[in-house]
Amino acid sequence: MSALVPGIEDALMHPLSGDVSVVRLLVGYLKVLEQEQALGTPDLKRAVIAHIHDLAAVIVGAPRHTVEIAHRRGLGAARLRAVKADIAEKLAGGDVGAAALAVRQRVSPRYIHKLFESEGTTLSHYVLGQRLARVHRLLSDPSYAEHTIGGLAFQVGFGDLSTFNRAFRRHYGVTPSDVRAAH
């Protein structure tokens, strides 16, 4: 931290003047990390630690160049995690469009799109992948055997069965019926 915020000891002796939204991001990021059992690879662990340091540095009053780095690195990663958690929560019955996400996350719709572009994807592709994965899990779960495939598709937010079937087949290389029959 002392490398990110020169004179951090002095900064901590005064009330924090950091952006409240960054504090919310840090708390949200820590909650998501707390829920995840394993952080995977050592590289991922180092990245997470760097993101937390970046957020904390911004909160305690890091110099401008450090804040700019934090915006590219830690803040973006924390914001993306928060957006993905929001999508997971609202996937089935809520609005997961860029405008609604932007309002709930207090950013612009363009920023939402840029976050996903930084991962080499788009918001719509991410949401589609999450919906498909959720339907796949439900089709594989014996406790959902009594539900129709169409009902499950609608339950996770698909509005059209033909679009769902085409996307599922394209993504998994099999039909939803094939997945259900295999389990």
In this prediction, residue 150 carries a pLDDT of 94
Average pLDDT over the chain, rounded to an integer: 81
Domain limits, the chain: 8-90, 127-182
The pLDDT-based confidence of 52 (bands split at 50, 70, 90) is confident
| CA 52/CA 78 separation, integer angstroms | 8
The pLDDT-based confidence of 2 (bands split at 50, 70, 90) is low
In this prediction, residue 62 carries a pLDDT of 67
Q: Which of 21-25, 53-57, 72-76, 78-82 has the lowest mean pLDDT?
A: 72-76
| CA distances for 43 relative to 39, 49, 50, 161, 163, angstroms | 9, 10, 11, 40, 38
In this prediction, residue 9 carries a pLDDT of 62
pTM of the model: 0.66
Question: How much is the average pLDDT of 43-71?
Answer: 70
CA 26 to chain centre: 14
CB 41 within 8 A of CB 90: no
Q: Which of 37-46, 77-86, 133-142 has the lowest mean pLDDT?
A: 37-46
Note the pLDDT tens digit of each residue in 120-169: 999 999 999 999 999 999 999 999 999 999 999 999 999 899 999 999 99
